[in-house]
């Protein structure tokens, strides 16, 4: 660039600057203070405190490694793919979608399919029935805030058949997965801004991080109660009493969360344990939030719904029970279909809840259709029945095999112990970490089980979640892994895991 060109460039830049100043794009404050208007010093403190381990640093690093492998920059690694055992995403781990469910969604999305012989008659009949309750007979229209009426009625029928009890469809709201139902209930009972002390919510430790994250976001107070690992992760009433009594000085206890079957523990509560919890909630005047999304995933024991147990105990306290199409044998995580049933709620409070839900307009109508296929599957004699039952049984049989395989394999490795995986789709084994590894983790300012999980990821490509992300008894270390990889992939993963653990112990002993 010569002198004349340079001078012209400066003049153009000055002219451009003056124009921006005149139009208000620049201000003296912008020039003198380079800090953004919205910065870490003035955003919501609750958001900064929020943590969500199942999508935390380990998962971010797993994504980076995947990109390295794809681009060819990670070719020196002793593995060629990442095994994501960190999150309960069934289809991402190779589970095949249910044919009937996807056919209904296809017809609902493309109504032209209803005029062809491509799909069975019961698929088309179900789709037409559901569309009759949609605006313009289209899944592209809003539904009522509480959900499509006929699907709410089908949810009530599902609960009625499950518990042999009456269920009022008007007490059921359809939500964007179970997560939205849980968040909405917590928002409803949160009086942290008006009371002298924050609202307290009892959550199990270990727990699913949705609860601790939402409680932090809402400025509520977590009341942690420890599950009894030595007794298949059962609940002790003495532990519940100790936890709530300790918390009363710093919060106003409002609710107790129960996850059954358990996430991350893989436990299934006995009926006696549920009765103990109900009596405790009655005495302490607590709302019960029952996370029952894994009720179809039972490999050892029996599922008892809180609603049924409460009814037989003649308990009239409030219960919010959630269910989802994301887990179980269906695994439709991405469609985000779920329900929340309100039991024994004051009608005036229920109206406030429905008013609050109206602000979000409605959950995904396709997600609502997916949920409908689960709560009202094909009936015997209908064209889709045999295939539906075959696919359902295949999924649950495979999961039961993997549940046993995972627990047995971990228990065969020195320094690792696991309770049986009785339900859900996770194992939460305890690990013994050598002192040298604990010291190395401290040097890196990491939790020891996080350090262990990161070494596993970097060495093998297996992505798990450290137990510290779910909470655990102080002085103990755990990790959560799903049982979702397909059988051959899971067997391969467990062999690699065993080899890694033995090398890790040798390295730091």
Find tokens 């995947």 and name the residue: 66
* In contact, 269 and 235? CB cutoff 8 Å: yes
Helix boundaries (H) for 331-471: 347-358, 365-375, 385-411, 435-443, 448-460
DSSP string, 257-297: EEESS-TTT-----HHHHHHHHHHHHHHT-EEEEE-TTTT-
Average of pLDDT values for 104-132? 95
Q: Within the chain, what is the greatest distance between any pair of CA atoms?
A: 92
User: What pLDDT, in 10s, does the model give residues 409-465?
Assistant: 999 999 999 999 999 999 999 999 999 999 999 999 999 999 999 999 999 999 999
Q: Which residues contact 485 (CB under 8 A, 6 or more apart)?
A: 83, 85, 93, 94, 402, 493
The H or E element that residue 7 is part of is helix 3-22
Task: Say if strands 252-259 and 199-205 run parallel, antiparallel, or are unpaired.
Answer: parallel
CB-based contact 368:174 (threshold 8 Å): yes
Would you say residue 5 has pLDDT above 60? no
Is 80 exceeded by the pLDDT of residue 46? no
Q: Name which of 131-135, 166-170, 309-313, 355-359 the model is least confident about.
A: 355-359
Check whether 271 has a pLDDT greater than 50: yes
Distance between CA 77 and CA 250 in Å, rounded?
Answer: 50
CB 337 within 8 A of CB 177: yes
Q: Report the chain's mean pLDDT, rounded to a whole number.
A: 89
Estimate the share of the chain in helix, then strand, then coil, as percent rounded to the nearest 5. Answer: 50, 15, 35
How do strand 338-343 and strand 172-175 relate by DSSP bridges?
antiparallel
Are the C-beta atoms of residues 154 and 319 closer than 8 Å to each other? no
Give me the residue label for tokens 């199942």: 54
- The CA distance from 33 to 50, in Å, is 29
> Tokens at residue 403, please?
């549940």
CATH class of the domain whose range is 103-375: alpha beta
Neighbours of 427 (CB within 10 A): 27
Quickly tell me which residue has 């890196």 as its tokens.
444
Predicted confidence at residue 421, as pLDDT, reads: 97
- C-beta separation of 410 from 429 below 8 A: yes
For residue 206, cis peptide bond before it (omega within 30 degrees of 0): yes
Residue listed under structure tokens 């890790």: 504
Mean pLDDT computed over 179-208: 92
Question: What pLDDT digit, counting tens, does each position of 314-331 carry?
Answer: 999 999 999 999 988 999
Domain ranges of the chain: 49-94+388-508, 103-375
Q: How confident is the model at residue 21 (pLDDT cuts 50, 70, 90)?
A: very low
Smallest Cα–Cα separation from 82: which of 96, 95, 68? 68
Local structure of residue 378 (DSSP, 8 states):
P
Q: E strands along 151-267, which residues?
A: 172-175, 199-205, 221-226, 252-259
Confidence band of 3 (pLDDT split at 50, 70, 90)? very low
Q: Are strands 319-324 and 430-431 parallel, antiparallel or unpaired?
A: unpaired
Give per-residue burial for 285-312: e unless 16+ CB within 10 Å, then b: ebbbbbbbbbbbbbbbbebbbbbbbbbe
Report whether 202 contacts 248 (CB < 8 A): no
What confidence score (pLDDT) does residue 53 get?
54
Phi, psi of 205 (to 5 degrees): -125, 120
Question: CA dist 183 to 36, 47, 52, 145, 373, Å?
Answer: 31, 15, 14, 16, 24
- pLDDT for 181 equals 92
For the domain covering 49-94+388-508, report its CATH number.
Answer: 3.90.1150.10
Which pLDDT tens digit goes with each residue over 286-301? 999 999 999 999 999 9
Give the model's pLDDT for residue 74. Answer: 62
Strand partners, 416: 431
Instruction: DSSP letter for 27, please.
Output: -
Provide mean pLDDT across the span 347-372: 92
- Per-residue pLDDT band for 483 (boundaries 50, 70, 90) equals very high
């Amino acid at each position: 660039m010569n002198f004349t060109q340079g001078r012209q460039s400066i003049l153009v830049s000055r002219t451009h600057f003056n124009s921006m100043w005149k139009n208000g794009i620049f201000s003296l404050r912008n020039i003198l203070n380079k800090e953004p208007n919205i910065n870490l010093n003035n955003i919501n403190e609750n958001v900064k405190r929020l943590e969500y381990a199942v999508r935390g640093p380990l998962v971010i690093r797993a994504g980076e490694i995947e990109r390295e492998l794809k681009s060819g920059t990670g070719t020196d690694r002793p593995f060629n793919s990442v095994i994501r055992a960190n999150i309960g995403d069934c289809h991402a781990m190779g589970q095949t979608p249910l044919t009937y469910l996807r056919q209904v969604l296809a017809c609902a999305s493309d109504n032209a399919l209803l005029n062809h012989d491509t799909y069975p008659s019961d698929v088309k009949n179900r789709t037409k029935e559901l569309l009759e309750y949609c605006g313009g007979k289209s899944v592209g229209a809003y539904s009522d805030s509480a959900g499509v009426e006929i699907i709410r009625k089908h949810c009530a029928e599902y609960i009625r058949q499950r518990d042999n009890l009456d269920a009022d469809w008007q007490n059921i709201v359809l939500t964007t997965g179970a997560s939205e139902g849980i968040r909405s209930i917590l928002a409803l009972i949160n009086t942290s801004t008006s009371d002298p002390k924050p609202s307290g919510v009892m959550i199990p430790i270990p727990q699913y991080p949705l609860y601790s994250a939402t409680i932090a976001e809402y400025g509520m107070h977590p009341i942690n109660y420890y599950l009894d690992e030595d007794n298949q992760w059962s609940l002790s009433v003495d532990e519940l009493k100790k936890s709530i009594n300790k918390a009363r000085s710093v919060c106003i206890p409002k609710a107790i969360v129960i996850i059954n079957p358990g996430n991350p523990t893989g436990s299934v509560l006995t009926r006696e344990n549920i009765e103990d919890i109900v009596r405790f909630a009655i005495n302490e005047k607590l709302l019960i939030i029952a996370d029952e999304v894994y009720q179809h995933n039972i490999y050892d024991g029996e599922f008892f719904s809180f609603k049924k147990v409460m009814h037989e105990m003649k308990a009239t306290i409030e219960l919010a029970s959630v269910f989802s199409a994301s887990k179980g044998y269906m695994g439709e995580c991405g469609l985000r279909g779920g329900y929340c049933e309100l039991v024994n709620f004051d009608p005036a409070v229920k109206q406030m809840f429905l008013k609050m839900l109206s602000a979000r307009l409605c959950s995904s109508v396709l997600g609502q259709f997916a949920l409908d296929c689960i709560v009202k599957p094909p009936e015997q004699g209908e064209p889709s029945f045999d295939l539906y039952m075959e696919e359902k049984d295949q999924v649950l049989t495979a999961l039961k095999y993997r549940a046993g395989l995972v627990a047995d394999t971990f228990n065969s490795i020195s320094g690792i112990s696991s309770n049986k995986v009785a339900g859900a789709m996770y194992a939460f084994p305890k690990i013994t970490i050598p002192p040298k590894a604990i010291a190395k983790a401290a040097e890196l300012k990491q939790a020891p089980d996080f350090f262990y999980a990161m070494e596993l990821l970097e060495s093998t490509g297996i992505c798990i979640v450290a137990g510290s992300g779910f909470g655990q008894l102080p002085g103990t270390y755990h990790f959560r892994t799903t049982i979702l990889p397909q059988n051959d992939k899971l067997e391969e993963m467990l062999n690699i895991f065993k080899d890694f653990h033995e090398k890790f112990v040798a390295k730091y002993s």
